[in-house]
Structure formats: structure tokens, C-alpha cells
Amino acid sequence: MEFKKYKNLVDFYTSISIEKYHLDGIEKRSYWYHLDHKFSVVEGFKQNIPPYIIGHINNLEMLMGRNNLVKNRKCSIDKDVLIDSILGNSETSIN
């Protein structure tokens, strides 16, 4: 799968997560705050992680905009933590 298609699927699943947890009223990207994927979309693509996992609510967090820009494509959690948080069904709210 090409990256553009993968990213579109991640965006789709991210939107579903936001709607499912009634967060559709939050501003996903502003000057001050950004909705971020803890395990990055780019790294998910490189490691063949299914888009629905990258778009899962447990992989989302709110960051200060400048912190997200510094983080860039880095991951703030590792793959095992991500998978455990989803398979263990320990649903959390966005940090």
C-alpha cells in the first residue's frame, strides 16, 4: 500500500475514534494545541501496523503545538505499549 492511501485510512479511523468518544467538537489543530498520534503515522506505515490501530483512541493525545512540531515524526510510545493498550482494551481519553 502506498503511504498516501495508508494516511487516508488512518485519518478515517481517527475520525471514527473522535466521533465514537464524542470528541468531534474539539479543535484538532490550532496554534496552541494539536491532536497527535502517539505512535506516528509514518512509523506505523514503515512497520506495517494496520491503520485502524494507528487511528485508535488509545493512540491519540493532545499536545502543545510547539511540542508536536518538535516531536515531528517521533513516537511518544513504543509499538508494544500501543498494541497492549488496544488489545487489553484499556480505553483512555485523550491526554
Query: Does the pLDDT of residue 25 top 50, yes or no?
Result: yes
pLDDT value at 18 more than 50: yes
Cross-strand bridge partners of residue 29: 34
Decide if pLDDT at 43 tops 60: yes
CA–CA separation, 21 and 16 (whole Å) = 9
**Does the predicted TM-score (pTM) go above 0.85?**
no
What average pLDDT score do residues 64-89 get?
Answer: 85
Does the pLDDT value for residue 59 go beyond 60?
yes
What's the pLDDT at 89?
58
